[in-house]
Structure 1
Amino acid sequence: MEMKMVNWVPLLSCLLIFGFLANDCSAAFTPIDNYLIACGSSQNVSIEGQIFVPDSHQPSFLLKSQGDTVVGVSNSSVVSPIYQSLRVFTTPSSYRFNIRQTGRHWVRLYFHPLPNSVHDLNSASITAITDKFVLLSNFTFKNQKDPYLFKEYIVNMTSDTFIVNFVPSNNSVAFVNGIEVVSVPDDLILDQALVLPPSAPFNGLSDCALETVYRLNVGGPLLTPKNDTLGRTWKNDWSYLHVNGSAVNVSVSPGTINYHVGVTPETAPNLVYATAEAMGNANVLNLNFNITWVLPVDPSSIYFIRLHFCDIISSAMNELVFNVYINSSIAIASLDLSTKTGDVKVPYYKDFISNSSSDSDTISISVGPDMLAEITNASLNGLEIMKIMSSVDHLLPSLHSKKSKMVIIIGAAVGSLTAFGLITLCYCCFVARRSKASHHGHLWLPLPLHGNSHTMTKVSTVSQKSGTASCISLASSSHGRVFTFQEIMDSTNKFDESLLLGVGGFGKVYKGTLEDGTGVAVKRGNPRSEQGLAEFHTEIEMLSKLRHRHLVSLIGYCDERSEMILVYEYMANGPLRSHLYGTDLPPLSWKQRLEICIGAARGLHYLHTGATQSIIHRDVKTTNILLDENYVAKVADFGLSKTGPALDQTHVSTAVKGSFGYLDPEYFRRQQLTEKSDVYSFGVVLMEVLCSRPALNPILPREQVNIAEWAMSWQKKGMLDHIMDQYLVGKVIPASLRKFGETAEKCLAEQGVDRPTMGDVLWNLEYALQLEETSALTDVDENSTNHIADIPLTPLEPFNNSMSMIGGVNSSTDDDAEDAATSAVFSQLVNPRGR
């Protein structure tokens, strides 16, 4: 196939004339963490204006181990100075970086085997890992054509320390030439994307690490890091075009690109949006004519795909309308860029999740004409493909089998049953978007405040405080106190990063202090999150109706200035996960763990049975179980919650949402949600509590990656004690462990109908606690799975109507009645020997 020839003179002139614009942009973002390390170097290394310091510059960088050596060359012909030195490791070694600002960071690694008289570095087998992700596994330059390797990852860092480990494997050595750990904007990659096929939203990208596989400046030349505010490299797309003659490059002056809300130079440089590939034969009659890019990928992995668009072709709005395809599946139908952005020459992007096509080890991206468009043309400006590491690679227990590649494809078959509904929904959304053509971006709108049963009531009060006039929010409604934005600013010291408690899909969470000294947790929504509005409404609507000792209480909210802020009670001991692994907190005792699980189960049982219609949490995990100062567990984060099925229904049909590693396999396959989906997720939590390890851990051998599958294999052998937290070994009564394992096993049943209710789970956990507390007594039937000896099983009944009601939902500010009802079942166990 003959490579198409392009006249770059006009474009290169633009680059020279407007180069200063890129330089000005580069100052727009300053990373808080900016570690550039030249490994093994004895002096600073300058690369395109950036200074890489020796890894010995600060002792805290390199955690030394025995046997590491330094290799360097001078006057080398290597492509970059960063490759002129390296450090060799004969034993596992680590680099540690102090993280001043949590959130997403670039992690970039440089490798080039320099000549060495001691070790054959071409045969070195390198493994690079962090505490959560495998960055590189057994890589060797042996038989590799390219003597250089550059790896780029984006990792969400949630602690103040980041460690990358280099492990020699296969009785060899490891080495590294350079390392970068650099902050990126939190909203560079949002928590949501669209899964294809079937078309369904997904939340949870903040829990994943991404590895850059392709980053293409479509229709334009190579862009080096100095052209990008985030130091990225954008390659040309020529070699990936399926048919070279199908596209022609178009370009405009970079200075004419107008960024709007939601897209910034950090999303992609204006040099990317100023060039594009358009149809080589515009206005063709054959509507099957597409521009297609074919990119080889690993078929066993799943990928994050970002498509960059900018209408630099049209002279007026609504002229360019086309279709976008990923692996022959429709990704965006009738994309009218000017309607999306409000004008021409305004950047726009869309994120997707997909794997390779069913018949090849490639991902194909296509753009082509829309049959209803007056002008038949299509274009693409930029393309990024990143491998989703860990969580998505091991999405479900079965994903590591040969069937793993087909999960999304199987989902497509299931999703076809709802295709008509999805098409209708897309059409409605398209019509709605067109009606908002005057808007230049996605903005959150204030909540409806009309005071009816389905909206929120807001009252503002101006009060005199200490003789000064200040606007103070004293109002409250059925949805909690309405805070002014100034009150939120005061309580968090203007969102001081030192008060940051965590970062989630909705946004950042800060510790705050109200005027009366009350500690609160303030969750500030990310305005670029497309799911934020729905989650904001859901969280307020759900929590304002629920009052329970084991549910985190919503104090109020703020929706001024297009902000979406939720204020909760402060949970002093943070998420359960922090007490299980990943921190230096002291380990929990077995009794504490049981009591925490029981508390969380009570909260979920209340959700499922304490209302006229059940509530399904849909995101049960150890980070959403919080502990107060007394280690009382409370379920949190109701942004994904869904009202359960009506009495005449068995399930709720809805798009799959949740967190990988905790997803109910049945819900994922059928998109049918029930209370038993929460039960499955809680079963994963039980195993995390027992084993003190993540639900998914790709560093471990393949059979151990998914805790649900791994733990169940040991449970079925009756050897759960072999994988439990080492701290607990010898400290747990076998009968209590046996009952706990049986309970988790039932929760993790493949079919929802085979799982217990949360009431049954709660009952069995209480039983496990009683077995632990009465361990000195031996006449309890330890092998019982359904009852305590001589005591018939009395499942917990749904909460009765004598409890107070808030908004039509049973509620109680004091759940002692529930605890008493639960405990009554076990009152006869206080002295079981007497029975």
Structure 2
Amino acid sequence: MGGPVLTPKNDSMWRTWETDQAYLISAASANNVSVNPNLIKYIDGVSAEIAPNSVYGTAQEMAEANVTDQRFNISWRFDVDEGFTYFIRLHFCDIVSTVLNNLIFNVYINKQSALTSFDISSKTMVLSAAYYADFVTNVSMGSNRILVQVGPPDFRNLPTNAILNGLEIMKMSNPCGSLVGNLCEIRKKSKFPRRKLVALAISSAVVFAVLVFVVAALLLRLHRPKKPKRCPSTWFSLPTNVGNSDSKVSICSLASTAQSHGLGRVLSFAEIREATKNFDESLVIGVGGFGKVYKGVLENGVMVAVKRGNPGSRQGLTEFRTEILMLSRLRHRHLVSLIGYCEEQNEMILVYEFMAGGPLRKHLYGSNLPSLSWKQRLEICIGAAKGLHYLHTGASDTIIHRDVKTTNILLDENFTAKVADFGLSKLGPTLDQTHVSTAVKGSFGYLDPEYFRRQQLTEKSDVYSFGVVLMEILCARPAINPALPREQVNIAEWGMYWQKRGQLQRIIDSNLVGLINIDSLRKFGETAEKCLAEHGVERPTMGDVLWNLEYALQLQEASIQNDSSDNSAKHIPEIPGWIPQVESVDTDRYDIVSDQVASDATTTSDVFSQIMDPRGR
């Protein structure tokens, strides 16, 4: 894209790289950009064998349309053979930005969203660094083209731009093991001579008679009913990523391709029992109202988290099926992936990717784990915000989580945050609706007061819950702590009391005192205050929340860089008269499931009186 022809002399893998002009649908939409190829960096996992530096040193970017708000895609069309699966590799290198996180765009393949709000620099951590992403898509019968597009997202207050540096398309053999489109039909239509057909019929009858009993016995032992597969318009991550690439596969690909990558996998109870050593109690890593969560290892060596419903009970069946339905449609770096499920012998079992760091909650309080730095907390907030933003805008339908809290934000071994537990999730309002009317469900302390009063659900209900999470992360205490004085019980109310007085630093986690840049804290507090607005229309979108959190992180990182010479002049000093911390209680176990509309006059004591079952989900 945007560069000259490269011959095998320029490529260690002996490829020829064509120019993209013949494939551009509208040449006026793109503008050639280039830099010195010697400036291109290859980070870990990406080498010159992936693509020459001349590929990464040139690109097509969005042309200047001389309008205030540029909203168009650069589109390339490639003619291919119908009925085949194609492997697609996209090459990216940010050669147009002067600072990190300034180039955010979307990528589409055959009008399906392949990458949403994609930020190259967040993957490479430096500019002018090579990066690639892999995809697999199926070209259905009746279609003979692949359409690749890049364009700007809707939510960013950043320069509108999108780029693509290079692209490779590889045709994969069909079920007949051939790259010839009609070979299967030729084989079907080919005819044997009559004598050979008679001989074949006799021998087949003899073989059939011998094998019929063996086959019947094997079928009785091995046959397992399979669930029908869905075909949503989304992309799923391949289990084996190479280097620094994003590897994904379309769920609409051939069935054999989907099965080989474990998409929508139905696991037998025997497999799960073996993975958890017959549900060994020593492997329990969590307990909730739905049941226990076990650490396990599948036969292929993949470590998983196994959530087992209470045996013999049908309680939670709706949540169980909702979780499967939602997660089978979603894949995102900041959403916990569903590996498979089991629904046999009256069991309800969900199998997820294993998150070594566990829930965010235990890294904030209630355990002996080391305290998280302010930068780590901001990065965790940003990761969770990206996951929620994807739910609200990245999927084909708006999805409202309805149970955003610190126990449903899990961390991997690198403290990457992923949103989990979609049992209460619900599709959001359509274009002609303003809300979804539904019974009140969620966790006490995180519940949107407007949703609680009116039973009218919108994505802004998630924004409110996330605001509570922000305060919980800042103050390292539960959302609700009845052991504290009355005015401090609710962290949202207590935090906003000090935020509106400009003294939020008085209640922050004592481990952060003197370590937070004052500007970063101010931006963080303003973001939380907007999230916790009384009315949904006054709250920002998750995209806006994400932007503000990333800005707060930039302020903190800038202060750290200046710290060596400035001696932390803008950091918050030690505060005398510190408000004492009272022993916390795990009030996140109090969940709300209400079918009645609460009046505007509901008091705190009225709400507490509704807590009947103190178990978490």
**What TM-score, normalized to structure 1?**
0.37
Structure (1 or 2) with the greater helix fraction: 2
Structure (1 or 2) with the greater strand fraction: 1
**What TM-score, normalized to structure 2?**
0.49
